[in-house]
């Protein structure tokens, strides 16, 4: 049986190797700061645990991360059950995020596309529509990056093939971004 110490050792190993992502993570933070500073918004999507990460990051941006401040425009495309189920029923699940980007995305916005494999079809379709509409796309993925690595403006490849370890680093990256945004964007208008 695997022990918790085994899990911690695996986590520490991936965490240490994640330092190789630092430049891409910081470049992505700069894209987010720039978008918010211009008055643009951030859209996020993913499936399963990555959907939860999208919602988590959006919540930190809209509500707060560490500072009391004005709300920042961020939308997790994974949260509207009526849109998700209507689209999946009437069309197909592969375009469920793309359809929302078609409705909500504007040039200058940023899409954070999360897929640990880089192969999630609905995430890839979202990226294609986002790029066509002039959005910058930050891909959060694992080792290799799949097709997401080729389609995104900027991709962060967590150096692991283990979904749980990749997701642990993804949320750490999301927290870093939220902190950088709060420190860099004029968020002083707290209401």
- 7 domain-assigned: no
Residues 131 and 109: beta-carbon distance below 8 Å: no
pLDDT at 190 > cutoff 80: no
From the CA atom positions of the chain, what is the Rg in Å? 16
**pLDDT, tens digit, for every residue of 73-130?**
999 999 999 999 999 999 999 999 999 999 999 999 999 999 999 999 999 999 999 9
Q: Which of 179, 191, 162, 143 is nearest to 33 (CA)?
A: 179
User: Mean per-residue pLDDT for 37-60?
Assistant: 98
- 62 domain-assigned: yes
- 22 domain-assigned: no
Residues 120 and 152: beta-carbon distance below 8 Å: no
Query: In which residue are the tokens 């796309």 written?
Result: 137
- 17 domain-assigned: no
Whats the size of the chain, residue-wise?
Answer: 191
- 4 domain-assigned: no
Query: Structurally, how many domains does the chain consist of?
Result: 1
Q: Strand 74-76 relative to strand 42-45: parallel, antiparallel, unpaired?
A: parallel
Residues 172 and 20: beta-carbon distance below 8 Å: no
- 52 domain-assigned: yes
Residues 40 and 108: beta-carbon distance below 8 Å: yes
**pLDDT, tens digit, for every residue of 140-174?**
999 999 999 999 999 999 999 999 999 999 999 99
pLDDT at 35 > cutoff 80: yes
Q: Residue 52: which domain range?
A: 27-184
- 96 domain-assigned: yes
Percentage of the chain lying above the pLDDT 90 cut: 95
CATH of the domain at 120: 3.40.50.10490
Residues 141 and 155: beta-carbon distance below 8 Å: yes
Residues 139 and 113: beta-carbon distance below 8 Å: yes
Token output for 118: 């880089």
User: Mean per-residue pLDDT for 9-30?
Assistant: 96
- 131 domain-assigned: yes
Q: What is the mean pLDDT of the chain?
A: 96
What pLDDT, on the 0 to 100 scale, is given for residue 188? 66
């Amino acid at each position: 049986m695997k022990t918790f110490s085994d899990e911690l050792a695996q986590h520490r190993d991936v965490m240490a190797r994640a330092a190789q992502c630092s430049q891409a993570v910081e470049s992505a933070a700069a894209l987010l700061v720039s978008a918010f500073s211009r008055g643009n918004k951030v859209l996020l999507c993913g499936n399963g645990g990555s959907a939860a990460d999208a919602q988590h990051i959006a919540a930190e941006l809209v509500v707060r991360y560490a500072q009391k401040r004005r709300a920042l425009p961020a939308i997790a495309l994974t949260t509207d059950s009526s849109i998700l189920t209507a689209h999946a029923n009437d069309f197909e699940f592969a375009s469920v995020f793309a359809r929302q980007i078609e409705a909500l995305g504007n040039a200058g916005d940023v899409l954070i596309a999360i897929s640990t494999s880089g192969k999630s079809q609905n995430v890839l379709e979202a990226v294609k529509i986002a790029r066509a509409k002039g959005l910058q796309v930050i891909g959060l993925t694992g080792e290799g990056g799949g097709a997401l690595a080729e389609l995104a403006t900027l991709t962060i490849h967590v150096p692991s093939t283990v979904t749980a370890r990749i997701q642990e680093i993804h949320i750490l990256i999301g927290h870093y971004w939220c902190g950088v945004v709060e420190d860099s964007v004029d968020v002083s208008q707290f209401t």
